[in-house]
Structure 1
Amino acid sequence: MILSRADASKENKGKGVVKSAEGARKKPLDAHYFSTFFWTKLKEAGYEKGRLGKWTKKFDIFSKDVVLIPINHNNAHWTGAAINFRRKRIESYDSMGMERGHLLRKYLDAEHRDKKKKPFDFTGWEDYTLEETPQQENGYDCGVFTCQFLESLSRGEESFAFTQADMPYLRRRMIWEIGHAKLRDDL
């Protein structure tokens, strides 16, 4: 749904803000969203053996504003990561506040060497973790938090307007969005 919204946004270029009855949200970025299998392939097989170059043969990730990656940690916890080309950051979002190392620098370099035939220039790039990342207060809401992190990032948000108290509403909202195959633009 994030990919569909990003594609539709490119076709309907506007002023950068989507209006709704509740207020305004930022216009969706030109985002790519990797499937939940991407991180496992990268971690277990690496770029070459995992044949990850084929995952981007129809588009150039370096032309995107942001690349979003859901990460499953041993079928026990979900987190999110982003390659933010606009801010030159490798971003990590974990609702349990754990520090997580990333293979994304190696991935970016391998992808750049494969597609652009030269190393990726990391000048000015930083590893980034938002200090005020919302935290879960139970052992089962990590998936909802991760979906909300990545959806907010797809709109260029720099902070998150939800907490553990919002999870019941966000679960119902996600069910509606999945059932209608459309992300809502209201808050």
Structure 2
Amino acid sequence: MVAAAAATTLAAGAAILVVTAQPRLAPWTLDPTDPRVSLEDVEREVARRHPVPEVEPAGLAAMLGRGEAMLFDVRTQEEFDAGHLPGAIRIEPGSSAAEILSLHRDRLGDGPVVFYCAVGVRSSQLMTATLKQIAPHAGGGVYNLRGGIFRWAADGRALVKGDGPGKAHHFDASWGQLLARTTPR
């Protein structure tokens, strides 16, 4: 979809209307209740809209197994409390690079930094806004977890909730339907 922007310019006493086309993303079109929509569809759409470096869950699991990754959960406190990836630190969606660095710069170190949320939208948006400032402090690169906590859970990987196993998502029944019909890779 293209939005038109108009500007008026005076040239030799005459008004000239200049119309320029500016690309605009269409609204989210994937319905998680539609049985034809898969998590893979959502992953592709997130990657198209927010092209940032990604890591697959298997790659992140290997990083975490070696103690290499710093993991940031970009969801609300309620979502985090319902279930999160082991070792994750929660940060507010929309946090600035300055906020993240002031609180966590000393933890970034030489390994990779990985952001995640439910399916990757909020975490990739945060990465887009902060990547240039955070990357110099992350020796192993900065990544978004492809498919977010949904893909992690669908692949059968452990989640944490307090002292026991957690849930990937429980606030929206629509997105819960998508998770319920997602099969592990």
Judge same fold: TM > 0.5, yes or no.
Answer: no
TM-score if structure 2 supplies the norm length?
0.23
